[in-house]
Amino acid sequence: MLQLLKNFDKLFTDPTSLPPVQRHDHAIHLIEGAAIPNVRPYKYLHYQKTEIEGLVREMLGSGVIQHSISPYSSPVILVKKKDEGWRFCVDYRALNK
């Protein structure tokens, strides 16, 4: 099994950029007159804030995310991975209501 993973290691790497543009773009249709969800960021421990800032810098640098001035806002949640790293998640519960 380990040899198989080594042979195909490029298939299991973390993404460093967005996939190529497809023929059809995704669109989110908003309901006219609906309230704009703008949830304040959660309070984080210092090490979590440092980790979030590092992950955001990394994603900005690789083009996975970009700066935004949108009035919409959802807080970030860090979830511990089995390898002791962190998974960057966004809490969209307010948007999904």
- 36-96, what's its fold? HIV Type 1 Reverse Transcriptase; Chain A, domain 1 (3.10.10)
Residue pair 40/75 in contact by the 8 Å Cβ criterion = yes
Determine if the pTM surpasses 0.75: no
What is the pLDDT at residue 8? 82
Give the DSSP H/E element, type plus range, for residue 51.
helix 46-62
Please report the pLDDT score of residue 4 as a whole number.
79
DSSP state of 65: S
pLDDT tens sequence for the chain (97 residues): 788 778 887 777 777 777 777 777 777 788 888 888 888 889 999 999 999 999 999 999 988 888 989 888 899 999 999 998 999 999 988 887 7
Token pair in block for residue 39: 């949830």
Residue 51: the pLDDT is 95
Domain ranges of the chain: 36-96
